[in-house]
A and B are shown apart, each in its own frame.
Chain A
Amino acid sequence: MQFPSLQLAGSEFWIAALLALGVAAGILALVHFANNQVKRAVIVGCAFLAGLFYFLEFFIPPDLKSEEVIVLRWNLTQTGSIIGNAAQVIAGFTFLLGIYNLVHIHGNIIRRLRGGWINSVAFFAAFLAMVVFAFWRDWQNWFDPLYPNYITPGKPEFIDPKGATFASQVADKLWAPLWVNDIVKDHKPRQDVYTLLFEGVYRNMDATMFSILAFYIVSAAYRAFRIRTREAAVLMITAVIVMLGQVPLGQFLTNWIPADGFFHGLRLEEINQFVLGQINSPVQRAIGFGIGLGGLAMALRIWLSLERGSYFEEGS
């Protein structure tokens, strides 16, 4: 079953899209009005089929030439990528759901003037600023994909390379000023509001949150390593050795031991490497095996719908 590479254009495309929507709505309605037993059967069946598909795709040896998995002329790899695209579309819709959730919560806080409502105002301001300037910047390209994405200084500010098509006329009407969409060729970075918000604000706030970690590691470490028990003492001594062995200062402390002498193993960096290689590494491996097998078992349980009590069916 090879999917034909169908190219729909104009009204055909819209009819196909509407048909697909209609079918989807029909299936949804059927599932909605079905009784629980039918629903359960549908869910279990879908989960099993979907799992089986990926199981086969993974285990069947791929075609030597294309590296794609083909069973009885059905190209599983290609189908897999179509399913992947469909999942992306669904994720797009759930994103709207997520945004609704955010707007709902923050809207409520402002409406009832709950404590900290000013933060919610900040949320809306930031959210709208990003949305407006991101869309405004790029919208000429929606109407006219050939809209130039740069201009050279000295030339007329707005040029239309393909002549005035309808689309470019629309794009012309909706034209964004340079401070919204900076397309001057030599400007690196672009000098527009979106770039300011993304590069100037968002990136730095992101980096700030990341660097807060350094401070948190300090406070967490000094609380965690209290030697109340013997095990804690071992843990603390190991931590101190590794922390010092990782940096020049620690290495400096045992630099007087000759690096090629009999006692070189006592240098801090050597002990550090021993801890990482001979103690840490087997533990990592053991945990890794456990997690791998646990994941395998969990995947089987989800695939065969055995995890029932865990999600929807408590009490039934």
Chain B
Amino acid sequence: MERSSAPQSFLASLPVRELSIAAGLVAAAAIVGLTVGAGYWKTTEYWQTFIFGRVLVFGLTALVLSHILHARRGGPVFVRRIPGLTAVDETVGRATEMGRPITFSLGLGGLDIITLQALAVALHVIRTAIRFGTRVIVTLADSTMYAVADEAVRESYAAAGRPESYNVEDVRFLSDRQFAYASSAMGLILRERVASNYMFGRFFAESLILAEAGNQVGAIQVAGTPIITQIPFFIAACDYTIIGDEYYAATAYLTREPVLSGSLVGQDRSKMFLIAVMGLGVLLATAAMLTGGLPVGEAPSGLGAVLDGFSRLFTEAK
């Protein structure tokens, strides 16, 4: 996703100072946890899942945190193009030309990171649209999120110097029932004959209902969700679909804030670490298989036992 701007070796690019600060913080938290926790660590169960449940998650947290800290004083980071997000100008421009509104569906999610990320993208679209005087109608299925979104959109209009242009009807709570929300949002898309339709957030079976409604009125559609099962539906029915971790990279991409891009670097380094772990596992398994240490249904021996121990490290925490 990212690439450090200056060509330098991987090791030299590691933010050693911040990494040690973050590791120190995380280690301190771990020590506090061990000392005040209620004797759990005296059991074997705790140590069996120690690596995965404590060390690995702490380690990844430290890695991401260190890059965020590093980025605060570092320069800009290159973030590759994310097609769905470069389309914001195109979608707003089209709506302005056609004189029709844009709909932005925030999905079924409540006040959580998924919907907050969707709201951040929505606010970016709204800020762009305010400049052209184009309407963006935000629809929601969660009332807590409605309160937050209403305030944030109002603030965006105020920040753009046009508080009077804010229309209460442009942030809509439709229903907290899945299909009631879907039918209502679908009706809105069809009645307003929207020029562009965004779907970001937590989506389930209603994803295709909304996307097909947008398709019927010929809207440009952009969708993004971390719910893996719904991604194929969006790909089939939308012009642009944001896949996987692109979803969480959206704000970094849109705002170009060094701190946010920094977290992307941390994310990518964490991913490299996981890939290395997987590579090691594959090598071990292959070697164990070749040396005959991995008989099926029997106790593993030799390299097989090593592999067994290795995979135990990554058994889920209890």
Chain A CB within 10 Å, residue with most, of B30, B124, B173, B247? B173
CB-CB contacts of B188-221 with A at 8 A, as 1s and 0s? 0001000000000000011011011001000000
**Closest residue to B113 on the A side, CB-wise?**
A298
A294 to B242, CA, bound (A): 13
Given contacts A104-B168, A291-B248, A297-B248, contact A72 B191 (CB under 8 A): no
A213 to B206, CA, bound (A): 8
Chain B positions within 8 Å of A220 at CB level:
208, 211-212, 215, 233, 236-237
Residue tally, chain A, CB below 8 Å to B: 67
Cβ of A63 within 8 Å of any chain B Cβ, yes or no, is yes
Q: Per-residue CB proximity of A47-61 to B under 8 Å, as 1/0?
A: 000000001100111
Whether the Cβ atoms of B127 and A314 lie closer than 8 Å is yes
A-B CB contact pairs (8 Å), 6 listed: A71-B36, A91-B144, A296-B267, A297-B264, A298-B263, A310-B255
Complex interface residues of chain A between 55 and 77 (CB less than 8 A to chain B)? 55-56, 59-64, 69-72
Q: Contact between B33 and A59 (Cβ–Cβ < 8 Å)?
A: yes
Q: How far, in whole Å, are A119 and B188 apart by their CA atoms in the complex?
A: 12
- The digit string for B157-170, where 1 denotes a CB below 8 A from any CB of A, is 00110000000110
Q: Report if A157 contacts B (CB, 8 A).
A: no
Knowing A61-B46, A94-B147, the reply to whether A209 touches B40 (Cβ < 8 A) is: no
Question: Which B residues lie within 8 Å of A101 (CB)?
Answer: 146, 150, 168, 171-173
**Interface membership of A13, Cβ < 8 A:** no
Q: Which residues of chain B are within 8 angstroms of A105 by Cβ–Cβ distance?
A: 168-169, 172
A173 to B132, CA, bound (A): 60
Q: How far is the CA of A219 from the CA of B213 in the complex (A)?
A: 11
Given that A206-B179, A300-B64 are contacting pairs, would A290 and B271 also be in contact in the complex, using a CB cutoff of 8 Å? yes
How far is it, in angstroms, between the C-alpha of A290 and the C-alpha of B248 when the chains are bound?
A: 9
Task: Encode A287-316 as 1/0 by CB contact (under 8 A) with B.
Answer: 111110111111111101011111110111
| A309 to chain B: closest residue by CB | B255
Any chain B CB within 8 A of the CB of A46? no
Which A residues lie within 8 Å of B247 (CB)?
291, 294
B295 beta carbon closer than 8 Å to chain A: no
Give the residue name and chain of the A residue nearest to B67 (CB).
A297
Q: B interface vs A, CB < 8 Å?
A: 29-30, 32-34, 36-41, 43, 46, 54, 57-58, 60-61, 64-65, 68, 110, 113-114, 116-117, 119-120, 123-124, 127, 143-144, 146-147, 150, 152, 155-156, 159-160, 168-169, 171-174, 176-180, 182-183, 187, 191, 205-206, 208-209, 211-212, 215, 226, 228, 231, 233, 235-237, 243-245, 247-249, 251, 254-255, 257, 259-260, 263-264, 266-267, 270-271, 274
Q: Is the CB of B205 within 8 A of A94?
A: no
Q: Which residues of A contact B211 (CB under 8 A)?
A: 220
B182 neighbours in A (Cβ, 8 Å): 209
Chain B interface, DSSP helix/strand/loop, else mixed: helix
Question: Complex Cα distance A48/B234, Å?
Answer: 35
In the complex where A95-B143, A209-B182 touch, is A311 in contact with B259 (Cβ < 8 A)? Answer: no
- Quick one: which of A86-127 are within 8 Å of B by CB? 90-91, 94-95, 97-99, 101-102, 104-105, 108, 116, 119
Across the interface, A288 reaches (CB within 8 A) one of B29, B65, B228, namely B228
Distance A63 CA – B33 CA, assembled complex (angstroms): 12
Apart from the given pairs A206-B178, A224-B237, A293-B271, 13 other A-B contacts in the complex at a CB distance below 8 Å: A94-B146, A95-B143, A97-B147, A97-B150, A98-B143, A98-B146, A102-B172, A108-B169, A220-B237, A223-B236, A287-B231, A297-B266, A298-B113
User: Given A60-B36, A94-B144, A288-B228 in contact, is the A293-B267 Cβ separation under 8 Å?
Assistant: yes
| Distance A287 CA – B248 CA, assembled complex (angstroms) | 12
Q: Quick check: A62 and B38 within 8 Å, CB to CB?
A: yes
Cβ-based interface call for A284 (8 A):
yes
Proximity bits, A272-289, B CB within 8 Å = 1, else 0: 000000000000101111
CB atoms of A302 and B116 under 8 A apart: yes
In the complex, chain B residues whose CB is within 8 Å of the CB of A38: none
The minimal Cβ–Cβ distance linking A67 to chain B, given in whole angstroms, is: 10
Q: Does A216 contact B (CB under 8 A)?
A: yes
Interface, chain A (partner B; CB < 8 A): 55-56, 59-64, 69-72, 90-91, 94-95, 97-99, 101-102, 104-105, 108, 116, 119, 205-206, 209-210, 212-213, 216-217, 219-221, 223-224, 284, 286-291, 293-302, 304, 306-312, 314-316
Which residues of chain B are near A295, meaning CB under 8 Å? 113-114, 226, 248
Shortest distance from the beta carbon of B245 to any chain A beta carbon, whole Å: 3
List chain B residues, Cβ under 8 A from A210.
179, 205
B156 pairs with A314, CB closer than 8 A: yes
State the CA gap A239–B251 with chains docked (Å). Answer: 33
Q: Are B228 and A294 in contact (CB under 8 A)?
A: no
A57 CB to closest chain B CB (Å) equals: 11
Q: Is the CB of B251 within 8 A of A97?
A: no
Partner of B260, one of A102, A224, A299, A307: A307
Q: Is the CB of A310 within 8 A of B36?
A: no
Taking the closest CB of chain B, its distance from the CB of A283, in whole angstroms, is 9
Please name all residues of chain B whose beta carbon is closer than 8 Å to the beta carbon of A291 when the two chains form the complex.
226, 228, 244-245, 247-248
In the bound complex, CA of A294 to CA of B228 (Å)? 14
Whether B208 lies near A56 (C-beta < 8 A) is no
Nearest Cβ distance between residue A258 and chain B, in whole angstroms? 26
CB distance from A91 to the nearest CB of B (A): 5
Tell me the complex Cα distance, A316–B143, Å: 28
Whether A64 contacts B40 in the complex (CB less than 8 A), given A209-B183, A220-B208, A224-B237, comes out as: yes
The CA-CA distance from A116 to B190 in the complex, in Å, is: 12
Residues of A within 8 A of B263 (CB): 297-298, 300-301, 306
Contact A307:B248 (CB < 8 A) given known A216-B209, A220-B237, A293-B270: no
Known A101-B146, A294-B247, A296-B60: A306·B260 in contact at CB below 8 Å:
yes
